[in-house]
Amino acid sequence: MFKQGQHVVRAGTFAILAGIFCLFLTSWSWGENLAVPGPFSMGHSPFVEDELLVQPKAGVSEAKSSQILSEQGATEFDEIPQIRVKVIKVPAHALEKVKVALAHNPHINYVENNYFIEPMLIPNDPSFTSEWHLVKISAPQAWDVSRGSAGATIAILDSGVDPAHPDLAGKLVGGYNFRANNTDTHDVYGHGTKVAGSAAAIANNGIGVAGVAWESTIMPLVVADSTGYATWSALASATTWAADRGVRVLNMSFGSPTGSSTLQNAINYAWNKGALIFAAAGNSANSTPNFPASGQNVVAVSATASTDSLASFSSYGSWVDISAPGASILTTTNGGSYGSVSGTSFSSPIAAAVAALVIGTNPSLTNVQVEQILKENADDLGTSGFDQYFGYGRVNAYKSVLAAFDAQPLVDTTAPTASIVTPSTGATVSGTTTVNVSASDNVGVTKVQLYINGGLFATDTTGPYSFSWDTSTYSNGTYDIVAYAYDAAGNVGQSSHISASVSNAIVSLSPSDTTPPTVSFVSPAASSTIDKKVTITASATDNVGVAKIELYIDGALKSSISGSMSLTYNWNTLKVSQGAHTVVAKAYDAANNVGTTMTTLYK
């Protein structure tokens, strides 16, 4: 057992250090000097010109969402179901018009552009050839307690990782490419391999460099393309994907002065599942906040130089949490080489790797505790105490793992609080009504559930908690409404009950029409083999008039349109299982007669 104050040196540590310093006597094959993207070097719009990110309110059905999008000439391209966000395609010339229309739709929580976001690196500096940063953060001493672990995986949300690099090969666990929608996680730009190496390159193997948490595994998640730019949607998808697979540490070496509700919701989702998210503070050398570093539930990391000063390029501000070395960091590069790099792109994964050391020491610690340990055991630089340049100080790996060794698991017994803000109790409602719920917790709210007359109406996992209640599907009368808020520990908080009276005009339909519509598929052909994206079109006719068409795939309602004789749905099958899939179209008339057709498609 290792207690604070003990100084323990093992033979393994000297072997590691010897391997590192022997490295400096060998010849170097330096990595390529990356062309660094910037606000004016993109050569295109700052956001994807034909995409929007849309979050319908909780309680809005898939059919209703599809109808809303169809009315605007938009189609669903992808989705992030964990946070209820749809990535939609719209004609580029109509982007702003569609954005404004959706923003004013009562069923929509928010709509935003899918911005590009740039990596936080600056050009290579090949003149500095030592891993000074490991000594500065007391990594060699920390390795006598923890070197990370296979269970303390670090997700690198970046441009991919070189799987054949001798200092990274064998360390990678299954990741995903969120730009190409496949499992190819090779580095398409060269940034991700550098980030991964600074965090967890293999040590004590007689070659190359040593990462901070060199026994931790790396999960490569590709969010950037060959230009180096990521998108909000790719980062959000990767964040929720990693969280669902139990990853405890995530690193984002990207930054933008523009914030994103979609990515913030994804970060909150991961945080509530126990993950700790690290982000680069930025390289603007000023206090302008960069997102996601400036967001909630993110550890923002500024960069220090070998002189213990703030690196000349590093962003700073009251939103910075901690600092870590980020100037002239020796690391792995694409193609099996090595290079010296600078930027908060590298201070962030170094701090993230210290978190992995802490988790490797004591896996029972919560993300709240790990973050607290990093801050409380950092080396105070600059003004005494917290400051805008170094945050709580430069991470100290050794002091952090010693603190983790003796730390006790945090038991959360505090229930969240919840209250229904609107409607007020006794209110009369009609049509579509928004139910707003306020919820808070000492750690974090994981979800809010709304019950109407004792039955679960909908669940919202992202704040602000807003539910779209279509009262036209309910009989007129008085309804009891209550909300429950949950946290990650399973504590539950209940709101006060309210009552609301539904009062909608009653429309009488003539029973004389008994002829159902006829409906058929225009495309694709029956029993077709499909791949990637396929357009499904259904057409319907009726003796009086078609009121609505619905499309079901494998029993799930995927699209609905009212007042039209045809329905078109773009089905993204990239993540669909192999085999047969049943597709059903239903057409309704005003008398509620139903016509049905079915086909089978194969992947």
DSSP at 472: G
CA pair distance 261, 292, nearest whole angstrom: 10
pLDDT at res. 9: 30
For residues 288 and 347, membership in a common domain is answered with yes
Helix, strand, coil % in the chain, rounded to nearest 5? 20, 35, 45
Contact call for residues 352 and 251 (beta carbons, < 8 A): yes
Q: Is residue 512 part of a domain?
A: no
Contact call for residues 353 and 199 (beta carbons, < 8 A): yes
> pLDDT band at 555, cuts 50/70/90?
confident
* pLDDT surpasses 90 at 77: no
Q: Is residue 38 part of a domain?
A: no
* pLDDT surpasses 60 at 32: no
Q: What value does the mean pLDDT take over residues 71-90?
A: 92
| Beta pairing, strands 218-222 & 176-177 | parallel
Q: Is residue 508 part of a domain?
A: no
Instruction: List residues bridging with 581 in a β-sheet.
Output: 601
For residues 182 and 309, membership in a common domain is answered with yes
Q: Which residue among 379, 406, 433 closes a domain?
A: 406
For residues 285 and 349, membership in a common domain is answered with yes
pLDDT at res. 446: 93
**What does the buried/exposed string (b/e) look like for 304-332 if buried means 16 or more CB atoms within 10 Å of the residue's CB?**
bbeeeebbebbbbbebbbbbbbbbbbbbb
Q: Is residue 83 part of a domain?
A: yes
For residues 79 and 194, membership in a common domain is answered with no
Residue count of the chain: 603
Instruction: List residues bridging with 465 in a β-sheet.
Output: 437
pLDDT at res. 63: 83
**What does the buried/exposed string (b/e) look like for 561-578 if buried means 16 or more CB atoms within 10 Å of the residue's CB?**
beebbebbbebbeeebee
CA pair distance 439, 420, nearest whole angstrom: 9
Give the position of tokens 């209820």: 84
pLDDT at res. 8: 32
Q: What value does the mean pLDDT take over residues 46-65?
A: 93
Instruction: List residues bridging with 88 in a β-sheet.
Output: 52, 76
Minimal CA–CA distance to 294: which of 352, 255, 329? 255
For residues 222 and 260, membership in a common domain is answered with yes
Q: What is the pTM of this model?
A: 0.80
For residues 339 and 211, membership in a common domain is answered with yes
DSSP at 431: S
pLDDT at res. 14: 33
Average predicted confidence (pLDDT) for the chain:
88
Minimal CA–CA distance to 4: which of 376, 509, 496, 465? 376
Question: In whole angstroms, how far apart are CA 250 and each of 49, 138, 155, 280, 442?
Answer: 28, 22, 5, 12, 22
Which segments within 81-149 are labelled E, that is strand?
85-89, 108-119
CA pair distance 397, 134, nearest whole angstrom: 9
For residues 321 and 354, membership in a common domain is answered with yes
The CATH number of whichever domain residue 283 belongs to comes to 3.40.50.200
Percent of the chain with pLDDT strictly greater than 70: 90
DSSP string, 213-240: TTTS-EEEEE-B-TTS-EEHHHHHHHHH
> pLDDT band at 379, cuts 50/70/90?
very high
**Pairwise pLDDT comparison (31 vs 551), residue with the higher score:** 551
Give 82-124 pLDDT, tens digit per residue. Answer: 999 999 999 989 999 999 999 999 999 999 999 999 898 665 4
pLDDT at res. 296: 96
Whether 158 is a known active-site residue: answer yes
Q: What value does the mean pLDDT take over residues 392-406?
A: 95
CA pair distance 564, 543, nearest whole angstrom: 14
Catalytic hit among 345, 466, 495, 559:
345
DSSP at 416: P
Give 216-228 pLDDT, tens digit per residue. Answer: 999 999 999 999 9
Whether 191 is a known active-site residue: answer yes
For residue 189, the Cα-to-chain-centroid distance in whole angstroms is 21
The CATH number of whichever domain residue 541 belongs to comes to 2.60.40.10
For residues 96 and 214, membership in a common domain is answered with no
Q: What are phi and psi of 17, to 5 degrees?
A: -65, -40
For residues 316 and 182, membership in a common domain is answered with yes
Q: What value does the mean pLDDT take over residues 189-193?
A: 97
In three-state secondary structure terms, 403 is helix
For residues 334 and 428, membership in a common domain is answered with no
Q: Is 490 left (phi over 0), alpha (psi -120 to 50) or beta?
A: left
Q: Is residue 261 part of a domain?
A: yes
Minimal CA–CA distance to 23: which of 167, 142, 193? 167
Domain encompassing residue 96: 60-112
Residues 6+ apart with CB under 8 A from 27: none
**What does the buried/exposed string (b/e) look like for 198-220 if buried means 16 or more CB atoms within 10 Å of the residue's CB?**
bbbbbbbeeebbbbbbbbbbbbb
pLDDT at res. 127: 31
> pLDDT band at 43, cuts 50/70/90?
low
Q: Is residue 295 part of a domain?
A: yes
Whether 312 is a known active-site residue: answer no
> pLDDT band at 507, cuts 50/70/90?
low
Minimal CA–CA distance to 593: which of 505, 507, 508, 512? 512
Catalytic hit among 107, 133, 165, 191:
191
Q: Is the peptide bond before 524 cis (omega within 30 degrees of 0)?
A: yes
Q: What are phi and psi of 53, to 5 degrees?
A: -105, 125
- How many domains are there within the chain? 4
Longest dimension (CA), the chain: 93
> pLDDT band at 45, cuts 50/70/90?
confident
Q: Which residue among 406, 427, 453 closes a domain?
A: 406
For residues 128 and 235, membership in a common domain is answered with yes
| Beta pairing, strands 556-562 & 546-553 | antiparallel
Give 158-174 pLDDT, tens digit per residue. Answer: 999 999 999 999 899 99
